[in-house]
Amino acid sequence: MSQKSAPKPNIRPRVSSGIPWWIWVALCVVGGGIGFSLFQNAIAEDPAKLFADAMLAAQNQDGKLIENNLEKLKQFPEFVGQQKLLEGMLMLNRSRPLKAIPMLQEASEEKAVRGKALMYLGIAYAQAEDSMMAIKTFESAIQDDENAFEARHSMAMMLNDMMAWEEALTHLNFLAEKEYKPAQILKTRGDILFDLGKYKEAAADLEAAIKADQTDPMNSVKADRLIQSLTRMGDLEKVTEFIGLIDRPGANERLEAEKLFAAGNTSEIFEVLDRIRREAPNDARAAQIYAQTMLKQKSAEKAAEALVIIRPLVTNVTRNLDLYKSLAELSRMAGDDEVAGLAQQNVDQLTELNSQYDAALAATIRTRDEYEPRFKLAQLALETGRLEQAMKYCEAVSRLHPEKEAEISAVKQQVFTPLPQLVSTKTASADAASNGATSTPAVPESPAEQKPDAEPATPAENPEPAKSDAASEAAPDAATNAKSEASTSPAPEAESVEK
């Protein structure tokens, strides 16, 4: 008999405990993670790294990380100075300078963070509008370390806003030599030199500031003042290099007019001036170019034609020295001695006022916060037609002396009020002649094609705020220090005035 083999039992694999193997794997992973976390927590945080990371977070304006690291630093009593510094910085970030000041004062007593604490304490005083304490604090930081660049930069910007330009230039020169933030430092120094009438030095700084950071959104402002400086210097070819950086209607036409005038090209200049007139009917510099071009023709008839344009213009642009000089010359050439004499009186008085302005400016920039010199300078800026500067000086003295706001506001209001002529140039005979003439003459043809009755185009007035020379267009002031600069009203229109 054949024997049948016994059937094999169906054995199912099982773990010894009866729990599936994949559950054991999951438990091991979770348990390992918990153990690693406990191990990490058992390792003490590095307080120096916590503080360094918090300071880096401050640069990136990451307030959450600062708060987290500050909380961890409280476990380390030896880092109390760093804690106070971070607490003060958080208060500054929340625009609460009065809360920040005592914290930063306490932090400044700790040697390890004294430099940083003094710098932020100075900023806190500036935000609290205590300019003199801010300056004093920055000075302490610089005395501790002459290479405290941030504190020196902040101090220079405050001194600039206070019009203490002589002292500001000392710090800006130091920072420029160290090549610290050249795009900002050279721009600020260039602006000061421009306002002081040092156009060659201003042009060098402003050009270098543009090239230091060609992506800086402030480059259009820098280029505007650079172009003004170069125009005053007569370097029109270099103006061409930077004209594309500014976005101002008519800028290319004004440059073309300057070039044609410098080259003595009378065959094309009237057409260009007419284009300017259509954009800005009262452009003072264009009017000056027009007047001088007509004077070069040495014709009483042409001088009389020019007077039809220039005489009404000086009743609107009332403090432009160049225009009054041209008015006096044109009137003499046309045989109108009465108007020539009145124009000359304006020339003489404006020349004297400009001399007073220069002297007041030289005296004011050597002081820090004195009220009288600054207020007097603002008044003289107004009297000489420097309306942008008048408003700028009023804002500066308002920040320093808020208790004088009523007196300062009276000058501010005058900036927006048309200034009368120092000596009226209106006469009965001249007015009668003007009424009988065409008020908006057409552009004359070139000398080769000119008809006997051809008349010149009305030039245009400079619509931008005035500077101290009629040879260029005005530019918006930069401005510039967000830590201490107060908001201002838009600059009014003004005539350009030659110093």
112, 143, 174: which is the final residue of a domain? 174
pTM of the predicted structure, to 2 decimals: 0.76
Residue range 191-195: mean pLDDT, rounded? 96
Q: Which of 135, 151, 174 is the last residue of a domain?
A: 174
The mean pLDDT of 202-211, rounded to a whole number, is 97
Domain assignment present for residue 4? The answer is no
- SS3 per residue for 383-450: HCCCHHHHHHHHHHHHHHCHHHHHHHHHHHHHHCCCCCCCCCCCCHHHHHHHHCCCCCCCCCCCCCCC
Q: Are 172 and 152 in contact (CB under 8 A)?
A: no
Do both 110 and 219 map to the same domain?
no
Structural domain includes residue 259: no
Confidence of residue 62 (pLDDT cuts 50, 70, 90): confident
User: What is the band of 487 on the pLDDT scale with cuts at 50, 70, 90?
Assistant: very low
Tokens representing residue 268 in the block: 């094309």
Same domain, 435 and 303: yes
> Residue 269 CA to chain centroid, in angstroms?
33
Q: What is the mean pLDDT of residues 19-35?
A: 58
Same domain, 202 and 303: no
Candidate from 55-64, 77-86, 131-140, 393-402 with smallest mean pLDDT? 55-64
More confident residue, 186 or 71: 186
> Average pLDDT over the chain, rounded to whole?
82
Q: Is 5 inside any structural domain?
A: no
- Average pLDDT of the segment spanning 173-199: 97
What would the mean pLDDT of 108-115 be, rounded to a whole number? 92
Does any domain span residue 22?
no
How many residues does this entry show for the chain? 499
- On whether the CB atoms of residues 111 and 139 are closer than 8 A, the answer is no
| 329-362 pLDDT, tens digit each | 999 999 999 999 999 999 999 999 999 999 999 9
Q: Is the residue at 325 inside a domain?
A: yes
Q: At residue 435, what are phi and psi to the nearest 5 degrees?
A: -65, -25
pLDDT at 320: 96
Predicted local confidence at residue 9, as pLDDT: 53
Among 191, 217, 247, the domain boundary falls at 247
pLDDT tens digits along 427-476: 866 565 555 544 444 344 333 333 333 333 333 333 333 333 333 333 33
In a domain, 461, yes or no: yes
User: Do 207 and 77 sit in the same domain of this protein?
Assistant: no
Residues 401, 498 share a domain: yes
pLDDT at 159 over 70: yes
pLDDT band for position 96 (50/70/90)? very high
Under the banding of pLDDT at 50, 70 and 90, the label for residue 8 is low
Closest CA to 125 of 148, 104, 146, 152: 104
Q: Do residues 79 and 214 share a domain?
A: no
Q: Are residues 294 and 431 in the same domain?
A: yes
- Give the model's pLDDT for residue 158: 95
Average pLDDT estimate for 282-286: 91
For residues 156 and 52, membership in a common domain is answered with yes
Q: Looking at residue 80, which CATH number applies to its domain?
A: 1.25.40.10
Q: What is the pLDDT of residue 30?
A: 55
**Residue 105: pLDDT over 90:** yes
96 and 202 co-located in one domain: no
User: Would the pLDDT of 65 be above 60?
Assistant: yes
Domain span holding position 192: 181-247
> How far is it, in rounded angstroms, from Cα 292 to Cα 183?
39
- Report residue 307's pLDDT band, with 50, 70 and 90 as the boundaries: very high
Any residues with CB less than 8 A from the CB of 87 and at least 6 apart, and which? 70, 100, 103
Give the least confident one: 42-46, 52-56, 177-181, 226-230. 42-46
| Whether pLDDT at 178 is above 50 | yes
pLDDT digits (tens, 9 = 90+) for 378-422: 999 999 999 999 999 999 999 999 999 999 999 999 999 999 999
Could you tell me if residue 319 is inside a domain?
yes
- Is 232 inside any structural domain? yes
pLDDT, position 44: 53
Residues 378 and 475 grouped into a single domain:
yes
Comparing 9 with 285, which gets the higher pLDDT?
A: 285
Q: Is 212 found in the same domain as 67?
A: no
Structure tokens that stand for 459 in this block: 């030039």
Instruction: Kindly tell me if the per-residue pLDDT of 7 is higher than 60.
Output: no
Please give the Cα distance from 218 to 383 (Å, whole number): 31
Question: How many folded domains does the chain comprise?
Answer: 3
Q: What is the pLDDT of residues 211-248, one digit of tens each?
A: 999 999 999 999 999 999 999 999 999 999 999 998 88
Q: Are both 168 and 186 inside the same structural domain?
A: no
- pLDDT above 90 covers what percent of the chain? 63
